């Protein structure tokens, strides 16, 4: 991911640089998954003959992380705004959500989402991937809420007062002044939550979702060999988290560069 370190041409706008960064990240992740499929195929048995299963499991893990991660950012933003709201009911709901999610195990939340929610809301029909994404999004959203709330509170009040004195209303002040700075402040914590989410996604294997951990466990049950499948899955998790960590560092540097070019 070193190619993300060099600044884009100064004539590019902020949106073009951000879009190029995200495109490079997606392309990098696709390349990593492609390389994983090729490298796992060279591994000794019983891994080599099951390389495609490991590649599909890694792809499912990444998709689960992306979907639940994006939903978790939205939920975290709403919860953070709720906790800072002047309306008591919104504060109570947001505080209750964060309190419950942060105070209960993720495994219980996965079971609740898969077994209890379909009974509580029977008109919503989803498979294992959907309910697993719901559980993970609710979980990471509660942790994102505290990070985003801290970022919102860290924006200097003087900048908000200056924006209001220039005639900007509350909405434009929030969108143009508060959100960009709060997001930059919250970015390291948000990225750390997403990296943790990738590892926590392994818990969705208990509801039958065939992601990376489930693939390793199925191979263990089929071959009665535990060491190689578990080591292979651990190595793939390590590679995926390393790529995400490198990208997060590049993204943080990109925001610093954008501030200097702005």
Q: Which of 54, 106, 48, 50 is nearest to 211 (CA)?
A: 54
pLDDT by residue for the chain (262 residues), tens digit each? 443 444 444 444 554 555 555 566 656 666 666 566 556 655 556 776 777 888 889 889 989 999 999 999 999 999 999 998 889 999 999 999 999 999 999 999 999 999 999 999 988 889 999 999 999 999 999 999 999 998 888 887 777 677 777 777 677 777 777 777 888 888 888 888 988 999 999 999 999 998 989 999 998 888 888 888 888 889 889 888 888 887 777 776 666 655 544 5
Residue 177 corresponds to which tokens in the numbers above? Answer: 């002044």
- Where are any strands of DSSP class E within 130-240? none
**Which DSSP letter does residue 204 get?**
G
Q: Which of 1.10.3720.10, 3.30.70.2190, 3.30.930.10, 3.40.50.1110 would CATH assign to domain 27-35+49-261?
A: 1.10.3720.10
Domain boundaries, the chain: 27-35+49-261
Beta carbons of 54 and 233 less than 8 angstroms apart? yes
Query: How far is Cα 254 from Cα 252, in angstroms, rounded to an integer?
Result: 5
SS3 38: helix
């Amino acid at each position: 991911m070193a190619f993300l370190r060099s600044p884009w041409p100064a004539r590019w706008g902020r949106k073009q640089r951000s879009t190029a960064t995200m495109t490079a990240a997606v392309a990098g992740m696709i390349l990593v998954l492609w390389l994983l499929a090729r490298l796992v195929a060279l591994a000794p048995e019983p891994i080599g003959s099951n390389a495609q299963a490991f590649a599909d499991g890694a792809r499912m893990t990444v998709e689960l992380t992306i979907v639940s991660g994006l939903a978790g950012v939205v939920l975290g933003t709403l919860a953070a705004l709720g906790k800072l709201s002047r309306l008591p009911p919104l504060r109570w709901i947001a505080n209750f959500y964060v309190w419950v999610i942060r105070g209960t195990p993720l495994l219980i939340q996965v079971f609740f989402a898969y077994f209890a929610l379909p009974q509580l809301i029977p008109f919503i029909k989803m498979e294992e991937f959907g309910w697993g994404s719901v559980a993970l999004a609710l979980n990471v959203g509660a942790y994102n809420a505290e990070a985003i709330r801290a970022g919102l509170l860290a924006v200097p009040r003087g900048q908000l007062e200056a924006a209001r004195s220039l005639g900007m209303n509350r909405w434009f002040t929030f969108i143009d002044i508060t959100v960009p700075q709060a997001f930059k402040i919250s970015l390291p914590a948000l990225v750390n939550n997403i990296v943790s989410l990738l590892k926590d996604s392994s818990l969705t294997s208990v509801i039958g979702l065939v992601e990376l951990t489930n693939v390793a466990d199925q191979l263990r049950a089929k071959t009665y060999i535990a060491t190689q499948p578990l080591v292979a899955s651990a190595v793939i998790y390590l590679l995926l988290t390393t790529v995400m960590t490198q990208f997060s560092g590049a993204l943080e540097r990109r925001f610093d560069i954008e501030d200097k070019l702005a």
